[in-house]
Amino acid sequence: MSETGKIPYNHTHGYLKERPRLLTILCIKHFILTLIGFAGVLSPQVKHAGMFYPSALGIVISIQFISLIGIWHLKRWGVHLFTYSVIVYAMLQIVLERTGLLGYDIFWAVFLLITCLVYYRRMDSNL
């Protein structure tokens, strides 16, 4: 936010010039959770869940990390990719009946998506 309290907006190109503070905090939180998720893919509990589960979980977490980079740079494709990855992650957890932390994960993901939707119109639609 600027010193005047308004979010800087580029009137020429029609998108935000600076990332809102709330979005920055949520992106950093999700970056940390994603890195923890990468480490969790290698855990013995994940390996015992099934043959395809570690690779599928690794792919979903990788896609979430890429989408967070898009959100960090205020790109709409980041929001789209994050939405799809959260849906796939939730479906994967439900199919494998691993719903222990699903509510916590989904809560924060939905909170980030709602925050992104607030700024969505002012995000850049280009790559």
Q: Which residues contact 104 (CB under 8 A, 6 or more apart)?
A: none
Q: Each residue of 6-37: pLDDT tens digit? A: 666 666 666 677 888 999 999 999 999 888 88
Predicted model pTM: 0.80
Q: Each residue of 30-54: pLDDT tens digit? A: 999 888 888 888 888 777 777 888 8
Question: Looking at the predicted structure, is the pLDDT value of residue 2 above 90?
Answer: no
